[in-house]
Structure 1
């Protein structure tokens, strides 16, 4: 395969989504927590039906990102019942492989993705999300926190942001315990991934805060991502490299460091190419080219390190009169990425 762009982050394979991808000239799509049946795991027939539907539009499934949280929440927390959940995750991975899905993106965020604003004003009146750790860290300001949740069992959280912390009450977990839970989980699922021909990549914690309301976060630095990708010596384990989140850690220097270190090890499975203005403890999402890093320099670094996977726009600023998925903003970002790839690849045209 070669360095390429894909359309992604939809939970559903609508005609509109797949036609959009085909019209933009990409060869593959990715899904984020696809709306598949199953209370504990996904079955092969359902995954195969998704793959076949995508193929009907002349496209392939590049990856699936995220399992429903309730598929492995006990594994995250190290609670009784985690081994049963892990068995279901292993079965799901097997089914993905049999259906021809080559990559599964996961995360190990107990508190999910947090923002303290979803309607900050970006360029030309576009809406963007923002994060201010002073707000997020204050339990008295819980109602100002937005948490990304997607749960097909909950009417108000099928594809939305909800108010308040994901883990309520007095839930606490420290870094050592969370790393132990991560290693236990990874050591259990990687053999299934190897057998299935599926690669597993973990997303950095967004925001990359040390902890949120007493709940540790561990994938918050380039060092931590390298550790996460190497706790098991296997080509089946890597990183789903969200450059927007790495930019939140330390701007362009952190992004180029991550590309160099993880790329040299062959641990970058795919890339989210988005950016923010500012770094922790305060940042705002933005259009490509107006944030912390140079998109051209970063894509050139990906090319030079030998990365041959796919790049997603991830998510984009909300353009005026765009819909919930953001087709207008995504068309801009995907075209931008296509041009970047052409610029760094001899003989390629957008």
Structure 2
């Protein structure tokens, strides 16, 4: 596995100099300052390469931009409304500029409206650290009582709806505002000033778009862009839904192994692959992560390795982001499956036999607690996770264990 690190650009609190000290070999980044749907120019792509390649003092960093995460799919494309056809053409032009710069792996997602959802961005841990948490009861309190979405109560069990009502009744205005801010952090263009009417407007855009319709739109998108990716030697890899179940009445189409199998078979190409995110997929107890790596590993182009601890065995339940080796996902078994897949690729002579991975998310510990970094992306917590994962990888790749 090639060990990489997600970097959000020059404004990231973790500098390129910091990343060097983590031991990561490559960078996962994107042009986050550009609006969704516009062309990534060759000049903008080159600038990001240069920023990654230099230390603060101007000397070479030794790091390379290895994975694009992400080249966003616009909401217009997902809904097939507005300028969606022009956005697809822009997407293909961006892929060309990305490929011409030497990049081969492009991660993206097809989540409607919400890129990710948590109810607490800094949940206190017993050890004094903090992490991100999704609480289904708090989310239901937001959905049913704060947002007031029509018919929301029917989307939850009676027990959850009742508990949501009790929690809402106990909230003061500040707590309601904080919950709203946390939930809407995953909305495009979200900020502390986003109104509830803004949220309702986003949701209204999906009125009449069923899960089957969204899935069909996804296939249309892939049929349009995958041939371009094939010609360019680019491997597209879709990130799963986070969390992997429907929220706010929105359809989800990338939450399970069956979802991935459908999409990978619908447009069968080496350029159409998956990002195996053990954290997102691990939220559902019915997702077998080591088995998914074994069965779909041929199309896994990128790995997000993080862990979660579930509160229950419910498909739609609460969870928090645990230590990388300390959650409900059997991370050692997942990594062992990756090592076996890389061995198969080497024997087959595949040029992409080494799969890029990054330590996804992390707990805020030590100096992270005062930095207030991008939620889920503390420097020390991720470095700890990378060190733990690196130890497992080194052991499983050891020749004497017979996995190579």
TM-score higher than 0.5: yes
2:103 & 2:395 partners in 1: Cα distance? 29
2:339 & 2:282 partners in 1: Cα distance? 19
Report the equivalent of 1:232: 267
Is the alpha carbon distance of 1:93 and 1:123 closer, same or farther for their aligned partners in structure 2, counting shifts above 3 Å? farther
How big is the shift at 1:24? 2.6
Within the candidate set 60, 66, 73, 2:64 is matched to: 60
Give the stretch that moved more between structures: 134-143 or 19-28.
134-143
Mind listing any 5+ residue stretches in structure 1 that lack a counterpart? none
Is the alpha carbon distance of 1:140 and 1:9 closer, same or farther for their aligned partners in structure 2, counting shifts above 3 Å? farther
TM-score, with length taken from structure 1: 0.87
Q: Which has the higher strand share?
A: 1
Report the equivalent of 1:184: 220
Give the stretch that moved more between structures: 74-83 or 27-36.
27-36
Report the equivalent of 1:250: 285
How big is the shift at 1:295? 2.0
Q: CA offsets, 1:97-137, max 9 Å, x none?
A: 00111111100011221112222222412111111334434
Is the alpha carbon distance of 1:37 and 1:170 closer, same or farther for their aligned partners in structure 2, counting shifts above 3 Å? closer
CA contact (8 A) 2:282 2:328 kept: yes
1:8 & 1:219 partners in 2: Cα distance? 22
Report the equivalent of 2:302: 270
2:204 & 2:135 partners in 1: Cα distance? 22
Within the candidate set 176, 184, 187, 1:147 is matched to: 184
TM-score, with length taken from structure 2: 0.76
Report the equivalent of 2:248: 213
2:360 & 2:19 partners in 1: Cα distance? 14
Report the equivalent of 1:130: 133
Tell me the matched-pair count.
335
What secondary structure sits across from 1:6 in the alignment? strand
2:262 & 2:193 partners in 1: Cα distance? 30
Is the alpha carbon distance of 1:123 and 1:343 closer, same or farther for their aligned partners in structure 2, counting shifts above 3 Å? farther
Matched, 1:340 2:392: yes
CA contact (8 A) 2:37 2:72 kept: no
Within the candidate set 310, 323, 327, 1:287 is matched to: 323
How big is the shift at 1:347? 5.1
What secondary structure sits across from 1:79 in the alignment? coil
Is the alpha carbon distance of 1:179 and 1:15 closer, same or farther for their aligned partners in structure 2, counting shifts above 3 Å? closer
CA contact (8 A) 2:203 2:250 kept: no
Mind listing any 5+ residue stretches in structure 2 that lack a counterpart? 54-59, 148-175, 343-352
1:38 & 1:207 partners in 2: Cα distance? 22
CA contact (8 A) 1:147 1:161 kept: no
Query: Structure 1: which 4+ aligned runs deviate by more than 4 Å?
Result: 13-16, 36-39, 160-166
CA RMSD of aligned residues (A): 2.7
CA contact (8 A) 1:149 1:162 kept: no
1:5 & 1:64 partners in 2: Cα distance? 14
Matched, 1:18 2:1: no
1:277 & 1:100 partners in 2: Cα distance? 38
CA contact (8 A) 1:33 1:150 kept: no
Q: CA offsets, 1:283-326, max 9 Å, x none?
A: 11111122102322221121112262121111111124312141
1:282 & 1:161 partners in 2: Cα distance? 27
What secondary structure sits across from 1:19 in the alignment? helix
Give the stretch that moved more between structures: 288-297 or 174-183.
288-297
What secondary structure sits across from 2:294 in the alignment? helix
CA contact (8 A) 1:171 1:214 kept: no
1:101 & 1:13 partners in 2: Cα distance? 22
Is the alpha carbon distance of 1:94 and 1:208 closer, same or farther for their aligned partners in structure 2, counting shifts above 3 Å? same
2:119 & 2:11 partners in 1: Cα distance? 30
Is the alpha carbon distance of 1:191 and 1:106 closer, same or farther for their aligned partners in structure 2, counting shifts above 3 Å? same
1:227 & 1:9 partners in 2: Cα distance? 31
Report the equivalent of 1:105: 107
